Chains A and B, each alone.
Chain A
Amino acid sequence: MAILATLSAAGAWGALVAGIARAAHDVAPSRTVRAALAAQALKASDTAHLRYLSASGSLLFEEGQASGTLPGSMRVHFSVGATFSGSFTIYTRAGSITGRGGATPHGSGVYESFAGSLTVTGGSGRYAHAHGRAQLYGTFNRNTYALLVQTVGTLHY
């Protein structure tokens, strides 16, 4: 469950890359610059609206759209029990990001809120080496199984 960041704000990404490239052109690339080129850190805040696709026992498979720092489509497999736990993949224009997360539900009623954390474990394309952590929270509709997830964290890639 989660969302992480891209500099999909293409402007921000472009400016950063251009700045690093200029620095690299002006002087011999330092270890710091090479490291900056090799690894980026991005603080991200995203929201995903997921809808039910299928279920088996306590396992739900959902998909939807993520918006915010890292827009794209998202798929989530998660187990709903005393705790929520599962894995996610978000597909952005620059590549996919995968990870897993867990949360504890609170309250009762049709809408159940939850809070927890996620870990980014990898990805593809620009995010092939993605890793990071984020806090997640949201609501789960116990009638429709719709999921609203908000994440705030840092993505390294």
Chain B
Amino acid sequence: MPWRTALRAALLCACLTAVAPARAHAGTTATLNAAFAPERLGRRSTLDFGFSFSAPAGQVPPPLTQIELRYPNNLGIALSGLGLATCTAAILEASGPSACPSDAVMGHGQALTGIVLGSTIITESAPITVLRAPDEEGRIELLFYSEGTTPVNTRIVFPGLLLPASAPFGGLVSIGVPLVPTLPGAPYISVIHLRATLGPIGVTYYEQVGSRTLAYQPRGILLPNRCPSGGFPFAAEFRFLDDSVADAGTAVPCPHPHKRPGASHG
């Protein structure tokens, strides 16, 4: 692929010259996006969320170390039928998601990462798989698996723990993001953008019925019958290696009520 060739060339060029550390990170800002697909109250849905970091020109954000993503109250994540099986970090690190039960997969995504080498920003896009892990100290645990190939060939697994959160949130996912080394003397990888889904889109489970194995799509996150005032709130706090913190929030607007045939205005 052309972009991969360009990345390799840029990486080679950067290595032949000098490996300079990333410059100081001042003013990293975060944006958070969330959506439901479909967004229909009382129906099953897939949560689509993402976040992006902006950094001054020619820089990348500091390496990310911790995410706390708060999600709305009364979201039927635990009733979604997702994560009926579990997978462990050891299996993922050794063999990747293909070695895990299909019924452990809860979602998919994509991460855009980058490092500054010399004066060049090298970016890399890596797929993400979200899986259910065995409970950790009585808490529901998720595992995020990401595998990048070019320019940095790496495979990382990081945990996300579901914790209670105060209103108007129903809970939070606390995600510890590991530092990913690149080249000797070069900075750790920085996350620039991440987008992921939690729900049945792109997920297939298998059920044993008698002697047959049937494929099915898990039900998905059940939305409440009523939309909270102001929409479904999401908030995130991001912590970086340089001890800086960025906050972001968003709300999924309430869907427009479906007009009944013959309904009059006013």
Q: Are A109 and B85 in contact (CB under 8 A)?
A: yes
Instruction: Please tell me if the beta carbons of B140 and A105 are within 8 angstroms of each other in the complex.
Output: yes
CB closest chain-B residue, reference A54:
B225
A30 at the interface (CB under 8 A from B): no
B96-109 vs A: 1/0 string, CB under 8 Å?
00000000000000
Given contacts A81-B171, A143-B81, contact A57 B75 (CB under 8 A): yes
Alpha-carbon distance A34/B45, docked complex (angstroms) = 59
A76-106 interface code vs B (CB 8 A; 1 in, 0 out): 0001111100000000000000000000111
Q: Find residues 92-124 in chain A having any chain B CB closer than 8 Å to their own CB.
A: 104-110
Contact B85 A145 (CB under 8 A): no
Asked if B20 CB lies within 8 Å of chain A CBs, one says: no
Q: Is A58 an interface residue (CB 8 A)?
A: yes
Task: Chain B residues near A57: list those with CB within 8 A.
Answer: 73-76, 222-225
The distance from the CB of B234 to the nearest CB of chain A, in whole angstroms, is 15
Interface magnitude class on chain B: 20 to 34
Q: Does B170 reach chain A (CB closer than 8 Å)? A: yes
B78 touches which of A81, A106, A109, A143 (Cβ 8 Å): A81
Which of B74, B140, B162, B164 sits near A58, CB closer than 8 Å?
Answer: B74
Contact (Cβ within 8 A) A59 B164: no
| A82-B163, A108-B85 given; 9 more Cβ-contact pairs under 8 Å | A56-B74, A56-B222, A56-B224, A57-B74, A58-B75, A59-B224, A82-B78, A106-B138, A143-B81
B79 touches A55 (CB 8 A): yes
The yes or no answer to B132 lying at the interface (CB within 8 A) is: yes
Q: Which residues in chain B, 212-244, are within 8 Å of chain A measured between CB atoms? A: 222-226
Contact with A along B39-56 (1 / 0, CB 8 A): 000100000000000000
Distance of B131 from chain A, by nearest CB (Å): 11
Nearest neighbor of B80 in chain A, beta-carbon distance: A142
Judge whether B83 and A108 touch: CB under 8 Å: yes
Chain A residues numbered 54-84 whose CB sits less than 8 Å from any CB in chain B: 55-60, 79-83
The verdict on B23 contacting chain A, using a C-beta distance below 8 Å, is: no
- List residues of chain A with CB within 8 A of the CB of B14: none
A142 to chain B, nearest CB (A): 6
Inter-subunit contact B81/A108 (CB<8 Å): no
A107 to chain B, nearest CB (A): 6
Closest to B165 in A: A82
11 A-B contacts, Cβ less than 8 Å apart?
A: A55-B222, A56-B42, A56-B226, A57-B73, A57-B76, A57-B225, A58-B222, A82-B164, A83-B164, A108-B135, A109-B84
Chain A contacts with B in 28-67, Cβ cutoff 8 A? 55-60
Docked pose: A60 CA to B76 CA in angstroms: 9
Is B134's CB within 8 Å of the partner chain A? yes
The reply to whether the CB of B77 lies closer than 8 angstroms to some CB of chain A is yes
The verdict on B29 contacting chain A, using a C-beta distance below 8 Å, is no
Q: Which residues of A contact B75 (CB under 8 A)?
A: 57-58
Contacts of A58 in B (CB 8 A): 73-79, 170, 222, 224
A83 to B75, CA, bound (A): 13
A80 close to B78 (CB less than 8 A): yes
